[in-house]
């Protein structure tokens, strides 16, 4: 398995897509029911293939990710060949500045910019792009927006 197994909730939401995926792979309703009963390992393998297929499509569409905590905010632009990073960090761990929510980041940038450090960098992907995006999401990153990225570019 390349990524992860979709959760039951995700599979329920994608039930029609799973059915189409099975049909494309020559597994029809009756066969699917029989596979589930007689060969659960094969059924799981088919769901794993479907999960990888869905996540590959989702990860191909990711353009921006971010990871926030009280002490830092990292925003990534996911280009085809490289990751670009804008980072905001507190200069002093004792600072009351909070970078964990969009509102608190805005407050920090507006009212306490001297308590922050900024840097920007880029790097090529060490693994295939979608696999790196998967790892970043597993480590706590969430989808972000071009608007947030552009606002940080203007701050820099």
Question: pLDDT per residue over 83-119, tens digit each?
Answer: 999 999 999 887 889 999 989 998 998 899 899 999 9
Asked if the model's pLDDT at residue 156 lies above 90, the reply is no
Token pair, residue 49, equals 């293939």
CA distance 121 to 128: 19
Percent of the chain with pLDDT over 90: 88
Mean pLDDT of the chain: 94
For residues 27 and 33, the answer to whether their CB atoms sit within 8 Å is no
Q: What is the pLDDT of residue 22?
A: 93
- Give the mean model confidence (pLDDT) for residues 24-51: 93
Measure CA 47 to chain center: 21
Residue 20 neighbours by CB under 8 Å, 6+ apart: none
pTM, two decimals, is: 0.86
Judged against a pLDDT cut of 90, whether residue 60 lies above it is answered with yes
Are the beta carbons of 96 and 142 closer than 8 angstroms? no
Question: How far is the C-alpha of 77 from the C-alpha of 153, rounded, in Å?
Answer: 11
pLDDT at 127 over 90: yes
d(CA 115, CA 122): 24
Residues shown for the chain: 156
Strands (E), 4-149: 64-68, 72-78, 82-90, 116-124, 142-143
């Amino acid at each position: 398995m390349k990524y992860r197994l979709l959760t039951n909730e995700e599979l329920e939401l994608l039930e029609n897509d799973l059915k189409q995926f099975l049909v494309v792979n020559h597994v029809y309703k009756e066969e699917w029911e029989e596979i589930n009963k007689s060969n659960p390992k094969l059924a799981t393998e088919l769901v794993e293939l479907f999960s990888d297929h869905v996540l590959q499509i989702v990860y191909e569409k990711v353009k921006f990710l971010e990871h926030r905590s009280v002490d830092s905010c990292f925003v990534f632009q996911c280009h085809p060949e490289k990751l670009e990073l804008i980072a905001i960090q507190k200069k002093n761990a004792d600072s009351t500045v909070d970078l964990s929510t969009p509102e608190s980041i805005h407050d920090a940038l507006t009212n306490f910019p001297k308590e922050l450090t900024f840097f920007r960098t880029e790097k090529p992907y060490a693994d295939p792009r979608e696999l790196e995006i998967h790892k970043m999401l597993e480590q706590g990153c969430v989808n972000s927006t071009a608007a947030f990225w552009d606002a940080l570019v203007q701050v820099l």
